[in-house]
């Protein structure tokens, strides 16, 4: 089928486009190629995609209605997978208004375009950052999620509410997926796995909050993609799923694993965790397992091995 993917040049988006094309779909991508990190990463991710005759990429902004419409008109989309966003908790503290503009208003524009073009199903990427400090662990979709710790988390929660309103008011099928700490080949250079690996490789100090005791529910990219594709297959009104691995790992253990794989010691600088940092992320994945058949397969040890192999292949760390 024809699928519109926003954020197609991003980490998750580009990997998803590759999987969709391999499954025989035609993919119409939209991305503003926002240079929030080294644009060389976009080129690396788009290299093989651009060579595929079933892949189109429009360089355009979610906030530009004409650009958005032009992507929908390229084919006859049966689904939209909305991944374009300003990501990163920390960067959102420096520029909250931009997060509101892109993640909230941009998503409203996207939902409206999907409605106008009569696309039957929209899959929206949200985040485990919508959960607050008082949310019981593991995080369940049934928790209120009305106390996000950062402007990023708030913008993602607002986006979910907009999606709900489109499902309710206009009968649009919307599936919201709360992704948790996705990492792997083609990963984001502003995320901890990438930053830590580069620091270890280059002998630079890396910062670990609270002695590395914070925990993250690291999800390997291929597992996240399996969940997204399972969600795509079954539209059904408004649906909301956590997509994590369901197994939080201490940041210190994660760094130790990277040290082992890179064969170099980390220079660890400790710092107190800011209040905007979740102490632990832990997805309750039972709903996704039950309703989507979601079954994450890649352990952190295996995922990091594949990630470091990719960093070496790309010449980003020493061979
Ligand atoms: N990677 C993770 O761990 C993670 C975790 C939770 C949620 N998410 C969500 O998953 C989605 C994809 O994340 P990612 O890690 O691939 O991030 P990414 O930054 O690599 O990709 C996002 C893409 O969106 C594009 N973009 C930003 N603003 C835009 C705009 N106004 N118009 C059009 N394109 C725009 C960027 O250029 C980028 O290519 C995002 O919605 C993010 O919030 C990611």
Q: What is the end-to-end Cα distance of the chain in Å, rounded?
A: 40
Taking 90 as the threshold, does the pLDDT of residue 241 lie above it? yes
* Interacting residues of 257 by C-beta distance below 8 A, sequence separation 6+: 300, 301, 304
Assigned domain for 274 exists: no
Among residues 135, 67, 174, the alpha carbon closest in space to that of 279 is found at 135
Mean pLDDT across the chain, nearest whole number? 97
- Ligand 1: nearest atom to the Cα of 8: 39
Assigned domain for 61 exists: yes
* Ligand 1 close to Cβ of residue 266 (< 6 A): no
Assigned domain for 270 exists: no
Q: Report the number of distinct structural domains present in the chain.
A: 1
Taking 90 as the threshold, does the pLDDT of residue 190 lie above it? yes
Q: 14 pLDDT band (50/70/90 cuts)?
A: very high
- Summarize pLDDT for 139-151 with one digit per residue, the tens: 999 999 999 999 9
Give, using CA atoms, the residue closest to atom 21 of ligand 1.
Answer: 10
Assigned domain for 135 exists: yes
Assigned domain for 235 exists: yes
* Ligand 1 close to Cβ of residue 130 (< 6 A): no
Q: What's the 9 CA to ligand 1 centre distance in angstroms?
A: 9
Cα separation of 102 and 83, whole Å?
11
Q: Which of 33, 85, 90 to mutate to test the pocket of ligand 1 (most atoms within 8 A of CB)?
A: 85
| Per-residue pLDDT, 234 | 87
Cα dist from 61 to 33, 86, 107, 135, 151, whole Å? 9, 12, 11, 34, 20
- Ligand 1: nearest atom to the Cα of 33: 37
Taking 90 as the threshold, does the pLDDT of residue 63 lie above it? yes
Domain of residue 132: give its range: 2-183+218-247+282-297
CATH code at position 289: 3.40.50.720
Assigned domain for 269 exists: no
- Summarize pLDDT for 275-285 with one digit per residue, the tens: 999 999 999 99
- Summarize pLDDT for 70-126 with one digit per residue, the tens: 999 999 999 999 999 999 999 999 999 999 999 999 999 999 999 999 999 999 999
* Ligand 1 close to Cβ of residue 87 (< 6 A): yes
| Per-residue pLDDT, 159 | 98
Assigned domain for 315 exists: no
Q: What percentage of the chain has pLDDT greater than the value 70?
A: 100
Give, using CA atoms, the residue closest to atom 11 of ligand 1.
Answer: 83
Q: What's the 185 CA to ligand 1 centre distance in angstroms?
A: 15
- Summarize pLDDT for 205-218 with one digit per residue, the tens: 999 999 999 999 99
* Interacting residues of 3 by C-beta distance below 8 A, sequence separation 6+: 20, 25, 26, 27, 28, 77, 78, 79, 80, 81, 232
Taking 90 as the threshold, does the pLDDT of residue 226 lie above it? yes
* DSSP annotation string for 6-18: ETTTSHHHHHHHH
Q: What's the 206 CA to ligand 1 centre distance in angstroms?
A: 24
- Summarize pLDDT for 151-173 with one digit per residue, the tens: 999 999 999 999 999 999 999 99
Assigned domain for 90 exists: yes
> Hey, which residues are catalytic here?
152
């Amino acid at each position: 089928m024809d699928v519109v993917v926003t954020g197609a040049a991003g980490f998750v988006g580009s990997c998803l486009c590759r999987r969709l094309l391999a499954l025989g779909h035609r993919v119409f991508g939209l991305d503003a190629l926002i240079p929030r990190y080294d644009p060389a990463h976009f080129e690396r991710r788009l290299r093989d995609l651009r060579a595929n005759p079933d892949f189109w990429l429009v360089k355009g902004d979610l906030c530009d209605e004409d650009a958005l419409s032009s992507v929908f008109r390229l084919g006859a989309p049966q689904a939209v997978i909305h991944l374009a966003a300003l990501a990163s908790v920390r960067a959102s503290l420096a520029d909250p208004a931009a997060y509101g503009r892109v993640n909230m208003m941009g998503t409203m524009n996207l939902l409206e375009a999907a409605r106008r073009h009569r696309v039957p199903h929209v899959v929206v990427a949200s985040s485990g950052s919508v959960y607050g400090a008082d949310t019981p662990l593991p995080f369940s979709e049934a928790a209120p999620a009305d106390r996000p710790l950062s402007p990023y988390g708030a913008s993602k929660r607002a986006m979910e509410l907009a999606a709900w309103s489109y499902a309710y008011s206009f009968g649009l099928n919307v599936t919201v997926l709360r992704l948790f700490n996705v990492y792997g080949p083609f990963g984001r250079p502003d995320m901890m796995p990438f930053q830590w690996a580069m620091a270890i490789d280059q002998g630079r100090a890396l910062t670990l909050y609270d002695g590395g005791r914070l925990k993250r529910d690291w999800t390997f990219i291929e597992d996240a993609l399996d969940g997204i594709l399972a969600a795509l297959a079954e539209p059904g009104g408004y649906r909301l799923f956590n997509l994590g691995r369901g197994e939080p790992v201490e940041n210190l253990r994660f760094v130790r694993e990277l040290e082992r794989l890179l064969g170099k010691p980390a220079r660890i600088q400790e710092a107190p965790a800011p209040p905007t940092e979740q102490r632990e992320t832990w997805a309750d994945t039972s709903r996704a397992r039950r309703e989507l058949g979601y079954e994450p397969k890649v352990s952190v040890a295996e995922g990091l091995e594949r990630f470091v192999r990719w960093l070496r292949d790309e010449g980003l760390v020493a061979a």
